[in-house]
């Protein structure tokens, strides 16, 4: 015969379908009807913004579009906001590459969202993508040593020499800033080893929120100027004044995080209720 379970016991083991169902509702409501919760700008996002803003005219930026399709919903909005900033600021050259095989496809998607022509930016003059370069750290090291020896074409297969943006670009010393968007720890840490340590390239790094604690030692050691997570895209959009997916997701984040806090409280009440009532 099935043993009858007490109230506290049942509360302690709420079926996951219920937990997931409520969470799904908390996801959907703000997506349909944005609440408009305020978005705080953290010091690290501000530092990131200021770093790009204060670059001298003509500065060249290396951007690793190194996230995977799975990480796009989190890192895509951040990458889009940063590109908006680069183009809005003007006078900067953005050379992208990908250490993730899906990078070029996702870069195309991001550019379609940014629409660089609205800022007068032209492909090959103000920005370019030199393709996926296999080998992760080996690729970073190779591009740092000799970019032209590593790849001679852009992601479309056209020769790099035909693009004005590539004039004078040889190796890591040709770059004034490194920006990395990645879902992989091998990439976010690899750039420190292959570019920051040997060439002292200033480094801005954006990773998944759950990767941040592991990257903190690098930031504290001064190897990363600013470390953000994709979850902070709303802050960047606020600073760049281009509200998009990031700000929208700030509402979702507030609601879902608060719901999980409620879950934790309920779980603990149930745990102690069961402990002291005997079931």
Partner 1 sequence: MFGKIGDSMLISGRIFALGMLIAIWIFVLVSMEQAKKKIPTFRKMAGLDAIPEMVGRAAEMNKPIHFTTGLGDLTSTVAPQLVAGLSVLGYVSELAAKAGAKVIYSVYQAQVMPIATEIMKDAYVRAGKPEEFDVETQIRYLSGEQFAYASAVQGIAERERPAANIMIGPFYAESMLFSETFFRIGAIQLAGTARGYQIPFFAVVCDYLLIAEEIYAAGAYLSKDPIQVGSIRGQDVGKMIAIILIVLGVIALAAGSKIVLDLLKA
Partner 2 sequence: MSLLIRRQIPIALVFITALLIMMDYFLKLPPLDARGVSWTSPVVKDLQNWGVILTAFALGFGAVNLFILHSRHISRRTVKQWPFSVWLLLMIILFTVVGVSYGATSPEYSWLYNSSYFALSATVYSSLGFYMTSGIYRALRARNVDAVILLVTGGIALLKNAPAVAVNAPFVVSIDSWLNAIPTTSAMRGIMISAALGAIALGIRTMTGKETGFLGRLTEAEKGG
Which residues of the shown chain bind partner 1 in the complex (CB under 8 A)?
A: 16, 68, 70-71, 136-137, 183-186, 190, 197-198, 208, 210-211, 213-214
Cβ-in-10-Å burial (0-12, 13-18, 19+) of 51 comes to: middle
Residue 73 within binding range of partner 2, rule CB under 8 A: yes
Q: Which does 162 bind (CB under 5 to 8 A by kind): partner 2, partner 1, none?
A: none
Please state the closest distance from residue 270 (CB atom) to partner 2, in A: 9
Cα–Cα distance, 237 to 225 (Å, whole number): 19
Q: Which does 60 bind (CB under 5 to 8 A by kind): partner 2, partner 1, none?
A: none
Q: Which strands form 60-66's sheet, in the order they lie side by side?
A: 127-132, 93-98, 60-66, 177-182, 203-207, 226-229
Q: Dihedral of CA 202/129/118/243: which sign?
A: negative
Eight-class DSSP state of 124: T
Residue 197 within binding range of partner 2, rule CB under 8 A: no
Cα–Cα distance, 228 to 220 (Å, whole number): 13
Q: Which does 134 bind (CB under 5 to 8 A by kind): partner 1, partner 2, none?
A: partner 2
Cα–Cα distance, 116 to 210 (Å, whole number): 31
CA dihedral 121, 177, 47, 223 (to 10 degrees): 160
Residue 46 within binding range of partner 2, rule CB under 8 A: no
Among 120, 216, 277, 279, binds partner 2 (CB under 8 A): 216
CB-based contacts of 98, cutoff 8 Å, min separation 6: 64, 65, 66, 104, 106, 107, 129, 131, 132, 133, 155
**Residue numbers 258-277 binding partner 2 by CB under 8 A:** 258, 260-261, 263-264, 267-268, 271-272
Q: Which does 137 bind (CB under 5 to 8 A by kind): partner 2, partner 1, none?
A: partner 1
Closer CB to partner 1, 37 or 263, in the complex: 263
Among 202, 204, 234, 237, binds partner 2 (CB under 8 A): 234
Question: By the 8 A CB rule, do 177 and 59 touch?
Answer: yes
Please state the closest distance from residue 190 (CB atom) to partner 1, in A: 7
Given the rule CB under 8 A, which residues bind partner 2?
Answer: 14, 16, 19-20, 23, 37-40, 42, 68-73, 102, 104-105, 108-109, 134-135, 138, 155-157, 209, 212-214, 216-217, 220, 231, 234, 250, 253-258, 260-261, 263-264, 267-268, 271-272
């Amino acid at each position: 015969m099935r043993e009858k379970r007490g109230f506290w016991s049942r509360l302690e083991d709420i079926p996951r379908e219920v937990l997931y169902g409520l969470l799904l509702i908390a996801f959907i409501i703000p997506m349909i009807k944005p609440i408009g919760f305020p978005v705080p700008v953290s010091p690290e996002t501000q530092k990131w913004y200021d770093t790009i803003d204060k670059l001298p005219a003509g500065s060249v930026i290396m951007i690793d579009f190194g996230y995977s399709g799975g990480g796009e919903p989190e890192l895509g909005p951040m990458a889009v906001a940063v590109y908006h900033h680069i183009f809005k600021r003007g006078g900067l050259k953005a050379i992208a590459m990908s250490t993730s095989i899906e990078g070029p496809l996702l870069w195309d998607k991001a550019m379609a969202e940014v629409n660089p022509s609205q800022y007068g930016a032209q492909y090959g003059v103000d920005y370019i993508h030199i393709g996926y370069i296999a080998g992760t750290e080996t690729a970073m090291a190779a591009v740092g040593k000799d970019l032209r020896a590593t790849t001679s074409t852009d992601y479309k297969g056209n020769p790099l020499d035909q693009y004005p943006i590539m004039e004078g670009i040889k190796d890591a010393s040709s770059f004034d800033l490194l920006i990395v968007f990645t879902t992989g720890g091998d990439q976010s840490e690899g750039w420190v080893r292959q570019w920051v340590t040997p060439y002292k390239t200033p480094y801005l790094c954006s990773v998944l929120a759950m990767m941040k604690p592991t990257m903190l030692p690098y930031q504290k050691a001064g190897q990363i100027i600013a470390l953000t997570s994709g979850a902070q895209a709303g802050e960047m959009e606020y600073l760049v004044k281009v509200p998009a997916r990031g700000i929208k997701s700030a509402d979702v984040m507030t609601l879902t995080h608060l719901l999980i806090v409620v879950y934790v409280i309920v779980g603990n009440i149930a745990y102690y209720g069961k402990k002291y009532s005997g079931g």
